[in-house]
């Protein structure tokens, strides 16, 4: 290693930032995460840095910069924005005996700023000795996905309880305690938002010495989003990494399962439209049975579990069996479809009613009431409705033949092979056939409000909104 990684004590120590523009502001944002006392050396400051001075968070010195300006500093950032000036300022800082970081000039750096994953007090620093900052940011992104946002709060709680644990538990038992805290129920509860319950559980364990015998199973109903690996939530990733067994639907991006523990069992339960390889009742019974065996179960569903995901049957069965469960939301298909076409599902003064409905019920394809009762200022997002398209067209032409309807078709939203198409209502079946869309697609039907219609009539430009 050419550099040695080390965490510096910063509380109450002086840090100097030379510069008053964006590069200096970037360093200020970073160092203000610590408890350092920050001084800015610059003749003038941009608005962001001036606000920090006004708020008393940093000190501003407009005087002449000399070697004495850098005496007794823990760290100096040189960020004037001018390479020539930076070299001169570097020389002055070194003459003052400072440890210096010069922005974008690694050969002038005594210290190199790492990429940081901040879960204060848990901090992960990633460095490449200045050779590959893009790679460092990629690693940071991976770690951000892995470490839950509340992990630092749990670490802080553990720190506050270390004294009590040391007073009551022998060294071996203390190690077992903290291993249990960070690997088992307390961490899961804390991550799920039950901080008080987790704290109470840890305190009880310290008092009684009883922990680590948690063999009860649980189920997490996790929304995988529209299918792309990078659209599952951080909490969803965490549940995959904790799972003993994962029951999953069709996921067109198999890499989602790569986010799970390598030794987790993976069970495909089908759920293809019109061709369920597993009946819902069997899936529900299997979830209950696995949890009763003490396993941590993830039921991985496309989209959001609570939107046409048949979660109610599973939730009811888990409640009846007194099995702890959690619902982890996901990006639903309507939101993914709207994002794919770069539009909003709602628009103030134009589309202020959003209806999520389906064209497929237990008995087969239907025309939903939201289509029959469509009103101006409404967007209807239709799930599983491709097979009902001819009936929907007939219904709209019968009841709303003069309505200025926009139809957007989004197949495989946010995934490889995504297809986008716009058409008039009457051309919907032909457009579906033209693009060979016969299954995984959203229909977004919009009836603009009067405001948008008036604007359209006053302009020679056609309305571009297609949702």
Give the phi and the psi of residue 76 in degrees, each rounded to 5.
-125, 130
Q: Identify whether the C-beta of residue 359 lies closer than 8 Å to the C-beta of residue 385.
A: yes
Contact in structure between 405 and 467 (CB atoms under 8 Å): no
Helix (H) / strand (E) containing 380: strand 378-383
Q: Distance between CA 148 and CA 129 in Å, rounded?
A: 27
Q: Three-class SS of residue 285?
A: helix
User: Which tokens sit at 120?
Assistant: 């204060």
Tokens describing residue 98 = 């400072």
DSSP 200-215: HHHHHHHHH---S---
- Beta strands 406-411 and 419-423 are antiparallel
Asked about 271 being catalytic, the answer comes back as yes
> Angle at the Cα of 433 (from 428 to 437), degrees rounded to 5?
90
Which one is catalytic: 140, 271, 301, 412?
271
Given 153, 244, 249, 406, the catalytic residue: 249
Active-site annotation holds for 249: yes
Q: Which residues of 230-258 are buried (b: 16+ CB within 10 A; e: fewer)?
A: ebbbebbbbbbbbbbbbbbbebebeebbe
List residues with catalytic annotation. Answer: 249, 271
């Amino acid at each position: 290693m050419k550099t040695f990684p080390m965490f510096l004590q910063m509380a109450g120590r002086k840090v100097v930032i030379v510069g008053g523009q964006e590069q200096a502001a970037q360093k200020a944002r970073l160092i203000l995460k610590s408890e350092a006392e920050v001084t800015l050396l610059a003749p003038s400051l941009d608005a962001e840095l001036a606000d920090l001075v006004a708020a008393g968070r940093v000190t501003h010195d407009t005087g002449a910069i000399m070697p004495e300006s850098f005496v007794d500093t823990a760290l100096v950032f040189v960020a004037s924005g001018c390479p020539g000036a930076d070299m001169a300022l570097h020389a002055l800082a070194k003459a003052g005996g400072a440890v210096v970081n010069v922005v974008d000039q690694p050969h002038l750096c005594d210290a190199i700023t790492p990429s940081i994953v901040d879960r204060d007090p848990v901090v992960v620093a990633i460095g490449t000795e200045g050779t590959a900052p893009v790679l460092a940011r990629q690693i940071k992104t991976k770690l951000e996905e892995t470490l839950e946002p509340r992990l630092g709060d749990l670490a802080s709680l553990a720190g506050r309880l270390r004294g009590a644990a040391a007073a009551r538990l022998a060294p071996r038992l203390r190690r077992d305690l903290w291993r249990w805290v960070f690997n088992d129920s307390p961490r899961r509860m804390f991550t799920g938002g039950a901080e008080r319950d987790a704290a109470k559980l840890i305190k009880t364990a310290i008092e009684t010495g009883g922990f680590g015998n948690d063999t009860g199973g649980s189920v997490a109903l996790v929304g995988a989003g529209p299918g792309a690996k990078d659209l599952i939530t951080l909490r969803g990733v965490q549940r995959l990494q904790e799972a003993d067994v994962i029951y999953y639907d069709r996921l067109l991006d198999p890499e989602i399962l790569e986010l799970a523990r390598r030794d987790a069992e993976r069970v495909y339960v089908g759920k293809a439209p019109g061709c369920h390889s597993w009946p819902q009742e069997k899936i529900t019974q299997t979830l209950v049975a696995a949890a009763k065996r003490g396993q941590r179960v993830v039921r991985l569903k496309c989209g959001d579990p609570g939107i046409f995901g048949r979660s109610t049957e599973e939730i009811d069965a888990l409640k009846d069996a007194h099995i702890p469960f959690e619902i982890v939301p996901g990006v639903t298909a309507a939101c993914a479809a709207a994002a794919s076409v770069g539009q909003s599902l709602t628009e103030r003064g134009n589309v202020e009613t959003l209806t999520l409905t389906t064209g497929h019920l237990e008995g087969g394809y239907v025309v939903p009431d939201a289509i029959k009762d469509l009103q101006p200022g409404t967007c209807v997002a239709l799930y599983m409705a491709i097979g009902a398209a001819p009936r929907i067209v007939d219904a709209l032409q019968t009841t709303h033949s003069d309505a200025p309807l926009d139809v957007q078709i989004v197949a495989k939203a946010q995934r490889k092979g995504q297809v986008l198409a716009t058409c008039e209502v009457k051309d919907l079946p032909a457009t579906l056939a033209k693009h060979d869309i016969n299954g995984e697609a959203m229909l977004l039907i919009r009836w603009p409000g009067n405001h948008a219609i008036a604007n359209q009539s006053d302009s020679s430009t056609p309305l571009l909104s297609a949702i």
